[in-house]
Amino acid sequence: MENETKLMSVRDAIIMAMSEEMRRDESVFLMGEDVGIFGGDFGTSVGMLEEFGKERVRDTPISENAISGCAIGAAMTGMRPIVDVTFMDFIVYMMDNIVNQAAKTRYMYGGKGQIPVVFRCAAGSGVGSAAQHSQSLEAWFTHIPGIKVVAPGTPADVKGILKAAIRDNNPVIFLEYKAQFNMKGEVPLDPDFVLPLGKADIKREGTDVSVITYGRMLERVMQAAEEVHESDGVNVEVVDLRTLAPLDKDAVLESVKKTGRVLLVNDAHKTGGFIGEVAAMIAESDAFDYLDGRILRLAADDIPTPYNHILEKAMVPSVERIKKYILKLVNKR
């Protein structure tokens, strides 16, 4: 089983990762609204109640403040809760507990108050959930010391990084994208398959442009990279951050020095978005001296997400827009 893989969806990779960790460690449990009999609002815990029982797959009241408080308290006393936040937008009700309690406790108690809790957040637009159920709020949490933030973009990475997040002794915000729950890919079946937090991955080697991205946009960036290579001979390097906090700065800067051109892409709003921090980090480093042009950012428009599917589609970077920005950097068009 060590090298064996199976084609599966992001949804099934999430279920596999949680189930493997719950079999491995009895202190791991899942909690959230409708995670039990219903199998999760997005089907990400189907079958888990039957295997692990209601003590370890806990349906909660509709109170995000209570859910996050109970999870953090359980983590402080030796458990390892996984919280299904469902829509990431609902995490605003958990902010005090996460930002003022979970993020600070380990520091304030000299490392003795560990908070091993994972907040799984269904993020992003693309499924017609409108303005109050379509946000990607990762930038809020990368600003807070003490919280780790991850955003994998393939089914295999989802499994490996979720397992690492569950094993980590710090609070972790885990982004999973609603528009990609059905996306399929080869996933290792080895229960010991774990990917390190804080380590980016070069998804495509290249020499002309570095496109730095994460999460949902990875799939579109990869497609754009292949198409501009075929149509214009542009060799794009794709850097998948995977973990936003801690950020793998070395991987980013090495790629920038290699290609001399940078495009940053995400599906969160442009103003105050996380890719702006990456751009600033590049500008302040010695990699800046290797640049042959401007650092470009491509992100979602600064508007609430429309319900209308045509407008919703138009507000986030498309493959065609990514290609246009890549070609702009190399002066091809």
Tell me which residues are annotated as active site: 133
Peptide bond into 196 cis (omega under 30): no
Residue 5, helix vs strand vs coil: strand
For the chain, what is the largest distance between any 2 Cα atoms, rounded to a whole number of angstroms? 60
Distances (CA, A) of 269 to 88, 140, 194, 223, 265: 14, 12, 31, 22, 11
Residue 82, helix vs strand vs coil: strand
**Which amino acid would we find at residue 280?**
A
Question: What is the distance between the alpha carbons of residues 17 and 166, in angstroms, rounded to a whole number?
Answer: 9
Question: What is the distance between the alpha carbons of residues 266 and 60, in angstroms, rounded to a whole number?
Answer: 32
Distances (CA, A) of 327 to 122, 214, 262, 332: 32, 20, 12, 5
Handedness of CA 131, 14, 200, 164 (dihedral sign): positive
Q: Is 26 exposed, middle or buried (0-12, 13-18, 19+ CB in 10 A)?
A: exposed
Strand order in the sheet with 28-32: 57-59, 28-32, 80-87, 118-123, 172-177, 148-150, 243-245
At 64, give phi and psi (nearest 5°).
-60, -35
Q: Which helix (H) or strand (E) element contains residue 74?
A: helix 64-76
